């Protein structure tokens, strides 16, 4: 875990990622995630396994555990402090790895990535799209910041650490066996269950 192929991985594995993990905690986030994933899962059926790429301390997985109590849940995460937090959950299979190095041993019914593609070096996206597609037995859920064309924006005083684009549109264009099942937006000003102005896309593989 000591050397990475992109500066963005180093950034998240190091102090910035530790501080993010300390800062982002709390029941309110899990409540918002419960609202989000109950909406997203409404269009699915038979989800028995989930893998989340870039899970941080598990705020999405805690919600998914409530909504899918019988499902096998797995997480891939680059930051050591976040992995420590994830390893507190006995029901979770945790891989301490960069997404860029991760090789799934099996497919999962639902592959989730939320607030992570926006932080990857754009050059690695084709390989990561391939991973999302290959790791999925049925659904791929992409929850990111949307922009119709690729843009780079400053992130907490850092450059080249936050990128917006049409991630789901690019995945759909690349893999004709995926179709768009549902999509939506969650506003930061939502009165009850805010998210960070996230757009979500649920894709399904045709069998
Ligand atoms: C903005 S946070 C989002 C966390 C979580 N998905 C959520 O929605 O609360 C981005 C997470 O992705 C992780 N991450 C970033 N790049 C990664 C990589 N190359 N491999 C694995 N995890 C990565 C970070 O360490 C961090 O935990």
pLDDT digits over 121-170, tens only? Answer: 999 999 999 999 999 999 999 999 999 999 999 999 999 999 999 999 99
**Ligand 1: which of 78, 101, 164 to mutate, most ligand atoms within 8 Å of CB?**
78
Which residues are CB-neighbours of 179 under 8 A, at least 6 positions away?
A: 172, 203, 204, 206
**32 touches 193 (CB < 8 A):** yes
pLDDT digits 0-9 by tens, 37-59: 999 999 999 999 999 999 999 99
Question: Is residue 81 in some structural domain?
Answer: yes
Which is it for the CA torsion 128, 3, 5, 150, positive or negative?
A: positive
Residue 49 falls inside a structural domain: yes
52 C-alpha to center of ligand 1: Å?
9
Q: Is residue 2 part of a domain?
A: no
Q: For residue 87, what are the CA distances in angstroms to 55, 74, 178, 182?
A: 12, 11, 32, 32
Question: How far apart are the CA of 20 and the centre of ligand 1, in A?
Answer: 10
- What residues form DSSP beta bridges with 95? 76
State residue 2's pLDDT score.
57
Residue 1 lies in a domain: no
Distance CA 105, CA 119 (A): 25
Give backbone dihedrals phi and psi of 187, rounded to 5 degrees, phi first.
-80, 145
Residue 32 has pLDDT above 70, yes or no: yes
Q: Is residue 196 part of a domain?
A: yes
Distance of CA 112 to CAs 64, 160, 169, 190, Å? 11, 23, 16, 23
Ligand 1 pocket, Cβ-based, cut-off 6 angstroms: 9, 12, 17, 54-56, 59-60, 76-79, 82, 98-100, 114-116, 119
Q: Is the pLDDT of residue 1 over 50?
A: no
pTM of this structure: 0.98
- CA angle (64, 70, 76) in 5-degree steps: 50
| 131 in any annotated domain | yes
User: What mean pLDDT do residues 97-120 have?
Assistant: 98
Residue nearest atom 11 in ligand 1 by C-alpha distance: 54
Tokens of 98: 């960069």
pLDDT > 60? residue 69? yes
**Structural domain span for residue 134:** 7-205
**What confidence tens digit (pLDDT) does each residue in 86-101 have?**
999 999 999 999 999 9
Q: How many domains does the chain have?
A: 1
Cα 76 to middle of ligand 1, angstroms:
9
Q: How far is the CA of 122 from the centre of ligand 1 (A)?
A: 15
Q: Is residue 130 in a domain?
A: yes
Q: How much is the average pLDDT of 76-89?
A: 98
Atom of ligand 1 nearest to the CA of 6: 19
Distance 70 CA to ligand 1 centre (A): 25
Q: How far is Cα 140 from Cα 201, in angstroms, rounded to an integer?
A: 8
Can you give the CATH number for the domain in which 28 is found?
3.40.50.150
Position 161 in a domain: yes
């Amino acid at each position: 875990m000591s050397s990475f192929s992109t500066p963005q991985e180093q950034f998240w594995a190091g102090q910035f990622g530790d501080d993010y993990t300390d800062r982002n905690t709390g029941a309110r986030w899990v409540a918002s995630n419960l609202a989000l994933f109950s909406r997203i899962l409404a269009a699915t059926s038979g989800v028995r396994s989930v893998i989340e790429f870039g899970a941080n301390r598990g705020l999405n997985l805690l919600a998914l555990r409530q909504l899918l109590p019988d499902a096998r849940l797995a997480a891939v995460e680059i930051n050591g402090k976040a992995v420590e937090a994830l390893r507190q959950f006995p029901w979770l299979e945790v891989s301490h790895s960069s997404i860029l190095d991760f090789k799934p041993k099996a497919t999962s019914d639902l592959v989730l990535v939320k607030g992570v593609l926006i932080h990857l070096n754009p050059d690695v996206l084709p390989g990561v799209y391939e991973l999302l597609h290959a790791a999925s037995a049925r659904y791929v859920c992409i929850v990111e910041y949307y922009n119709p064309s690729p843009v780079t924006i400053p992130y907490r005083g850092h450059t080249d650490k936050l990128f917006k684009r049409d991630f789901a549109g690019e995945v759909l264009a690349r893999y004709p066996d995926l179709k768009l099942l549902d999509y939506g937006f969650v506003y930061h000003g939502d009165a009850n269950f805010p998210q960070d102005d996230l757009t979500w896309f649920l894709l399904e593989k045709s069998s």
